[in-house]
Amino acid sequence: METVHLKINNIPVEVPKGYTILQAANKANIKIPTLCYLKDINCIGACRVCMVEAKNRRGLLAACVYPAEEGMEVLTNTPAVIKSRKTTLELLLSTHHKKCLSCVRNNNCELQRLAAEYGVDEDRFTSSEPVYEIDEQSPYIVRDNNKCVQCMRCVAACKNVQGISVIGAIKRGFSVHVGSAFDKSLNDSPCVGCGQCVVSCPVGALTEKSQEDKVWDAISDPEKQVVFYTAPSIKATLGESFDFPIGTNVEGKMAAAIRRLGEGVKVFNMDFTADLTILEEANELIERIQNGGKLPMFTSCCPGWVKFVEHYYPEFIPNLSSCKSPQGMFGAVLKSYYCEKNNIDPKNLFVVSVIPCTAKKFEATRPELRSNKEYDDVDVALTTRELARMIKRAGINLANLDDEDYDAPFNKATGGGAIFGSTGGVLEAALRTAARTLDGDFKKVDFDEVRGPEEVREVTYEVAGVKINVAVTSGLGNARKLLEKIKKGEADYQMVEIMACPGGCINGGGQPLQSDTVRNNVDYKALRAKAIYDYDLNCEYRCSDESPVIKMVYDEYFEAPGKEKAHKYLHTTYVQRDKYYK
């Protein structure tokens, strides 16, 4: 490998040819501030916060795009550099609506952090701030261009990672802003709601549509019984909002905290319905294989992926598993089986799911998922960030809580349910149960081949004399490539797992926000995924069909996977959506 040698602040560093000054500085453990740069997503040198000096070079250089050169001597903190960065920040603040105290990103805003570090005067440049109407028409994302710094990280995430491009720069000059085609609401675009734009935004210009107040109102309503249930990945991510190291499992503390949000609040484990999904999904896969059903069968747990198919590849709708997602199944179970068993009117049961995903907010409103036409099965879907804010507002110190279990009867689940939170986890859990169903003596539990960060994992397994070809990918840009391959007849699979967010739910659009410093230098997705797989290894039961809670609900209510009652409550349908409308 050809390398180049240079000095950064007099520190010698050797890097591969083609590295930028920013990459070289990172290798030398020298921090250069950035705002528009986001590793593997956006590198356009637009914000000019990363400017540096180089001896024998005229002017300042943008470190994120300028290549490191042999013999170069870079200086990152000269008076000229500091002045440039400070002026840039002051100019950004001159058109930024500085509502920091009430902003959801207060104390977690990259512009705010840089302004504090450089001691900028926010009033140095006066300007008639542009006023944009806040777009809050969608059920999942709020866009406030009054806070946008035009870093284009959201645009890059939507285009370069997800391959959708429903947002972009509109107009020119001082009037330029980020928006959807023809300046329409995000709700009137073919947005899939994945929220990768939200987790890429460095400020408060993009946020999830908060439903916290609706939950507080229900908790204080004496006629409502409030129940929460938490998605598999939340245990591995919630702690980050309370300064726990990335990848810390806080499941027990989380259950304790939710229970303390209000009198009578119950908290259940969504890993249970992940297990339930596997029983139904494995049964459906076997039926399709044995009876000539539509193959490959696509997983249907990710609502962003499902909406992507409905908008962009409606010809593949029949390939989607008819199984509801774990969120959808749990809502149906609670407002049928649980209410009947406890003599509760379903209208008085307020169901709150805690999810890693903004698209789940949309899913909760889908009429196709209702088991009763009069009400939604899930009343509110809260992101991990919203739950963290509720815990903080209640004055609960998560770190000081002792671990507590979930409430019965939905307190136990398997490792198969837990690994739903990472890319490959749904398929692996399905393989564990499908293999045991086809071959009672099948011993393999860890299907490591479907795990990992590769764009597409393709594996062939042989079970009971049947060959099963499977594929896994995450990120909708990768999904598009895989679907095109299937359309062209270049691949033959029986089952395909796709998650909208790169890395799966552990990197969902509703997860805790990490700074650009962390995102650019730490493999946070791997750390979060490790917490989930470590949890799986320590579970008493690792295959979904082994769960005693699953056996209970089938014995008492659903009879068996695929039966009439199970199909009524646990399965759904999909709709074709025009590419240009919601």
pLDDT tens-digit readout, 251-268: 999 999 999 999 999 999
Residue 11: DSSP 8-state: E
Work out the number of other CB atoms within 10 angstroms of the CB of residue 312.
18
Catalytic residue among 240, 281, 310, 428: 281
The CA-atom distances, in angstroms, between 271 and each of 246, 445, 448, 511 are 21, 18, 20, 18
Task: State which amino acid sits at residue 428.
Answer: E
Catalytic residue among 240, 280, 310, 363: 363
CATH architecture observed for domain 212-272+328-400: 3-Layer(aba) Sandwich (3.40)
Catalytic residue among 14, 368, 455, 540: 368
CB 325 within 8 A of CB 355: no
In whole angstroms, give the CA distance from residue 96 to residue 127. Answer: 10
Q: Does residue 301 have an active-site annotation?
A: yes
The CA-atom distances, in angstroms, between 440 and each of 417, 429, 508 are 20, 16, 36
The DSSP H or E segment spanning 298 is: strand 297-298
Is 50 exceeded by the pLDDT of residue 582?
no
Helices 110-118 and 79-94 cross at an angle (nearest 10°) of: 130
- The yes/no answer on whether domain 125-208 falls in CATH 3.30.70.20 is yes
CA-only gyration radius of the chain, Å: 25
Catalytic residue among 284, 386, 497, 546: 284
CB 320 within 8 A of CB 309: yes
In whole angstroms, give the CA distance from residue 124 to residue 450. Answer: 55
Tens of pLDDT, residue by residue over 38-69, are 999 999 999 999 999 999 888 999 999 999 99
pTM of the model: 0.94
Buried b or exposed e, range 131-156, using 16+ CB within 10 angstroms: ebeebbebbbbbbbbbbbbbbbbbbb
CATH architecture observed for domain 3-77: Roll (3.10)
**Domain limits of the chain?**
3-77, 125-208, 212-272+328-400, 278-324+412-570
Q: Does residue 240 have an active-site annotation?
A: no
Residue 6: DSSP 8-state: E
Q: Does residue 14 have an active-site annotation?
A: no
Q: Does residue 368 have an active-site annotation?
A: yes
Catalytic residue among 86, 253, 360, 525: 360
CB 110 within 8 A of CB 96: no
In the numeric block, which tokens belong to residue 408? 């019965």
Tens of pLDDT, residue by residue over 285-336, are 989 988 999 999 999 999 999 999 999 999 999 999 999 999 999 999 999 9
The CA-atom distances, in angstroms, between 55 and each of 52, 59, 69 are 10, 10, 12
Helices (H), 365-502: 384-393, 415-418, 425-438, 476-487
The DSSP H or E segment spanning 513 is: none
pLDDT at 149: 94
Catalytic residue among 158, 301, 302, 539: 301
Tens of pLDDT, residue by residue over 350-370, are 999 999 999 999 999 999 999
In the numeric block, which tokens belong to residue 78? 């000269």
Q: Does residue 281 have an active-site annotation?
A: yes
In whole angstroms, give the CA distance from residue 296 to residue 280. Answer: 16
In whole angstroms, give the CA distance from residue 422 to residue 463. Answer: 24
pLDDT mean over 573-582: 75
Tens of pLDDT, residue by residue over 512-525, are 999 999 999 999 99
pLDDT at 579: 59
Q: Does residue 321 have an active-site annotation?
A: yes
Class of the CATH domain delimited by 278-324+412-570: alpha beta
In the numeric block, which tokens belong to residue 333? 């179970």
The DSSP string of 557-574 is II-STTSHHHHHHHB---
Q: Any idea which of 56-60, 170-174, 467-471 has the lowest mean pLDDT?
A: 170-174
Is 70 exceeded by the pLDDT of residue 580?
no
pLDDT mean over 222-227: 97
Catalytic residue among 84, 180, 300, 321: 321
pLDDT at 124: 82
Residue whose token pair is 């000019």: 48
Nearest CA to 353 among 365, 345, 344, 361?
Answer: 361
In whole angstroms, give the CA distance from residue 95 to residue 146. Answer: 8
Task: State which amino acid sits at residue 308.
Answer: F
Q: Does residue 212 have an active-site annotation?
A: no
Between vectors from CA 207 to CA 201 and to CA 212, what angle results, nearest 5°?
150
Residue whose token pair is 């470590």: 534
The DSSP string of 203-242 is SSSEEE---HHHHHHHHT-TT-EEEEEE-TTGGGTGGGGG
Q: Does residue 340 have an active-site annotation?
A: no
Catalytic residue among 505, 525, 539, 582: 505
